[in-house]
Amino acid sequence: MQIDADELLPFSRKSTALLLDIDGTLLDFAPTPREVWVDPDLLTTLKSLYAGLDGAVAFVSGRSISDIDLIFSPLQLPAVGGHGAEFRPDITAGDAAHPPPLPSLIKREFAMISKIGRGVLIEDKGYALALHYRLAPDKGPAVIEAVEKIRELIPPEAVEVMHGKFVVEIKPAATNKASGVHAMMREPAFKGRKPIFIGDDITDQTVFPIISDYHGQCFSVGHRMAGTDGCFDDPTAVRAWLARAAESLELVTEA
């Protein structure tokens, strides 16, 4: 049975938590990761939700936390970054926890794939390497094939390859968004709350099954994905719903 997200409004100030993917969920995709745009109204909405839920709002993203902070500046929120490789549960506690960097030799091997042609871009996250082909979608199959050939030469426990929308990411194994969410839900601001998670991509599929462990709900964006309770049409619909949620919280607080 599909849940209408508006049925969850107004949020309970003391028992709701929000966990939000970024690209394709909160923000519309751009030709390159650096070209995304954050509407000032979204910053206002997120700030209101963070205050209204007593800090129980977090980003869950494949982006690094430093990158998240840059694109949402001056707003900072708790965050799971790098598909679980980075973790910042408290914005007052200083820098996020960072994993060891991906070995340079492995990075160089995968970086050579960018030579496939124009439009294949490298993003070095330190602990991970992303190969974007949004500007050259026709080269996607060649990128994926080249990644798989290199991975066959590397011990399976060394790296994990993650496929997203027009991107392949190579990162250390054993961390993912689900492990990050589990860690976040143990933190004081989130513990005992019912999370609402929204994501749009293959990398979010590790999170959908675990949300029920916390008696929460999860929603996909663009199309209904397996294990979700409902679906938003696009990031515009997500932003509009979050604005309604913030407004309803303010009305409850005033009452």
* Active-site annotation, residues: 21
Q: Rounded distance, CA 196 to CA 15, Å? A: 11
Exposure string for 216-249, b = 16+ CB within 10 A, e = fewer: bbbbbbbeebeebbbbbeebeebbebbbebbebb
For strand 159-164 and strand 167-172, is the pairing parallel, antiparallel, or unpaired?
antiparallel
Taking alpha carbons only, the member of 201, 117, 124 closest to residue 170 is 124
Q: Is the peptide bond before 74 cis (omega within 30 degrees of 0)?
A: yes
CB contact at 8 A, 81 and 58: no
User: Where on the phi/psi map is residue 161: left (φ > 0), alpha (ψ -120 to 50), or beta?
Assistant: beta
Residue 77 vs residues 24, 70, 198, 234: alpha-carbon distances, Å: 19, 12, 16, 23
Report, in angstroms and rounded to the nearest whole number, the Rg of the chain calculated over CA atoms: 18
Tell me which H or E stretch contains 49.
helix 40-52
